[in-house]
């Protein structure tokens, strides 16, 4: 009897799957891959993919699609295929994300022929723009290369022309097939790498007693912003933004926060975004912190996490051992059942060894217990026999006040070098009310002790720790486009 039931179930499953594979005409994918793909392309300033929700329902029959899209032949091959980052996606392809169907629109592919930013695209864009013809929504999206504001403007045309001149059709296509377009150093190098940038003046940094010192041995303080999770807000990692913040806000450092949990969308594909960020910082003569942003994991030794961290830092140090502007933060915020002596210190020692095997002098910043607050505990047993090691102190002004400054003072008094690689002016949730007066007290304290600081976070997420508000712009923000915290930061940078 059991056998009969098994047989019946199996038959139903097989029948269903045959039925479904014939019926469903959509490409499976997963949102993280797409985000990543999206980012890489966008970051290289060529094209980006916009997932435009279509009216096509989840179960799309071949006939339906044929009616809706004359390009049916082209997407036939995509049937039953699971797209990866490295696969070619064309304008007009359907993908299924979390059970919903979307149609891919490649930015730059205005005439939807699969070639991006070629002369036809430029001509159409130019004609539309000059002629002021009312452009179709899809043309707007496909043409919008610069500021994701859904308008076609002269900047979009210029960007497209530059891309076209810099790359042949075939080159662009091959690179996209590969999944990315190689970072072109020449592209962004020019202007920004001139004299007078923070790195050209201060060079390689090191740690002396509790201070960061520059190449001349003078005390130096890094001040800047932390990105939000790169997996969610990759768009702010772009050359214009970095240079803009350097010139208009006066920051000298950006922290690249890459969450490391699988549930937070970590994949090794994100490393490319980090690498782009390092190059943008280098071009702008700014310092950059590569942040292994553990949070959910709590304990950095978590089985797979440590191995992932090792591979990550090996890759990064191999690339950047000769760069003067890179600092490594090896575990954002240990938390939960984690102790310094038992867990974090051994992790740090192992990771330091890994990094030092390749890079013998970059500054390495080590997380501390209780979401990087217990610097006083660490001060009782710091890592020995190593140079250029610092320890993390994180605070959120509406939550952490004088008692936490006391911990810092205790640690400083015994010579522990501290770096506030993350702080917020709101509460520890990253949201809630701001406490600007407490934040000012903190900044004065940090400045007085030459402690470097980085403000959380460069994004427009709807939470009070975000520095941007009511804008999708990814650089060149006006004062009105800053949140209350963003406006405060600009003042704090002058203190």
In the numeric block, which tokens belong to residue 273?
């975004």
8 A C-beta contact, residue 60 and residue 75 = no
3-state secondary structure 31-80: HHHHHHHHHHHHHCCCCCEEEEECCCCCCCCHHHHHHHCCCHHHHHHHCC
Least distance to ligand IDC, CB of residue 427, Å: 8
β-strand partners of 97: 100
Least distance to ligand IDC, CB of residue 232, Å: 8
* Closest chain position to ligand IDC (CB): 430
Q: Which residues of the chain form contacts with ligand IDC (CB under 6 A)?
A: 295, 332-333, 371, 394, 396, 422, 428-430, 456-457, 461, 463, 465
Contacts of 363 (CB under 8 A, 6+ apart): 205, 206, 207, 212, 327, 328, 388, 389, 390
Least distance to ligand IDC, CB of residue 228, Å: 6
Cβ distance to ligand IDC smaller for residue 75 or 439: 439
β-strand partners of 27: 95
Provide the b/e sequence for 403-422 (b: ≥16 CB within 10 Å).
ebbebbeebbeeebbbbbbb
Choosing from 297, 333, 354, 438, the catalytic residue is 333
Contacts of 37 (CB under 8 A, 6+ apart): 49, 85, 89, 179
Least distance to ligand IDC, CB of residue 333, Å: 5
**Of 333, 335, 325, 400, residue with least CA distance to 363:** 325
Choosing from 422, 438, 484, 491, the catalytic residue is 422
333 is catalytic: yes
Cβ distance to ligand IDC smaller for residue 292 or 456: 456
Least distance to ligand IDC, CB of residue 458, Å: 11
491 is catalytic: no
Q: Report, as residue numbers or ranges, the catalytic residues.
A: 333, 422
């Amino acid at each position: 009897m059991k056998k009969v039931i098994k047989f019946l179930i199996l038959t139903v499953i097989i029948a269903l799957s045959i039925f479904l594979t014939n019926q469903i005409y959509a490409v499976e994918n997963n949102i993280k891959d797409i985000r990543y793909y999206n980012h890489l392309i966008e970051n290289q300033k060529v094209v980006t993919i916009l997932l435009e929700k279509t009216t096509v329902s989840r179960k799309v029959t071949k006939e339906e699609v044929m009616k809706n899209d004359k390009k049916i032949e082209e997407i036939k091959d995509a049937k039953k295929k699971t797209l990866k980052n490295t696969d070619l996606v064309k304008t007009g392809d359907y993908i299924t994300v979390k059970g919903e169907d979307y149609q891919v629109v490649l930015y730059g592919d205005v005439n939807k022929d699969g070639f991006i930013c070629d002369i036809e695209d430029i001509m159409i864009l130019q004609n539309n723009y000059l002629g002021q013809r009312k452009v179709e929504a899809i043309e707007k999206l496909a043409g919008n290369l610069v500021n994701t504001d859904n308008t076609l403007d002269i900047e979009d045309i210029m960007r497209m022309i530059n891309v076209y001149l810099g790359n042949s059709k075939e080159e662009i296509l091959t690179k996209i097939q590969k999944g990315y377009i190689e970072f072109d150093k020449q592209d962004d190098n020019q202007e920004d790498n001139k004299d007078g940038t923070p790195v050209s003046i201060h060079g390689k940094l090191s740690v002396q007693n509790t201070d960061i010192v520059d190449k001349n041995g003078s005390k130096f303080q890094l001040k800047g912003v932390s990105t939000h999770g790169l997996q969610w807000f990759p768009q702010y990692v772009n050359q214009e933004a970095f240079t803009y913040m350097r010139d208009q806000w006066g920051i000298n450092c950006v922290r690249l926060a890459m969450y490391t949990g699988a549930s937070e969308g970590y994949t090794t594909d994100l490393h490319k975004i980090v690498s782009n960020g390092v190059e943008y910082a280098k071009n702008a003569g700014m310092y950059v912190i590569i942040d292994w942003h553990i949070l959910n994991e709590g304990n950095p030794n978590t089985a797979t996490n440590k191995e992932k961290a090792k591979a990550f830092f090996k890759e990064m140090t191999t690339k950047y051992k000769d760069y003067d502007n890179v600092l490594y933060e090896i575990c954002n915020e240990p938390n939960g059942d984690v102790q310094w002596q038992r867990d974090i210190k051994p992790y740090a020692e192992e990771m330091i060894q890994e990094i030092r095997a390749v890079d013998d002098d970059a500054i390495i910043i080590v997380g501390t217990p209780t979401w990087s607050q217990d610097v006083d505990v660490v001060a009782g047993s710091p890592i020995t026999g190593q140079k250029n090691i610092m320890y993390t102190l994180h605070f959120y002004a509406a939550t952490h006040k004088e008692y936490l400054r006391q911990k810092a003072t205790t640690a400083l008094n015994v010579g522990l070098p501290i770096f506030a690689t993350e702080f917020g002016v709101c509460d520890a949730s990253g949201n809630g009310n701001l406490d600007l007066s407490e934040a000012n007290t903190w900044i004065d304290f940090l400045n007085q002790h030459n402690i470097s600081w980085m403000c959380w976070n460069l994004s427009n997420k709807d939470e009070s720790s975000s520095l941007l508000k009511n804008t999708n712009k990814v650089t060149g923000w006006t004062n009105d486009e800053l949140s209350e915290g963003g406006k405060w930061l600009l003042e704090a940078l002058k203190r």
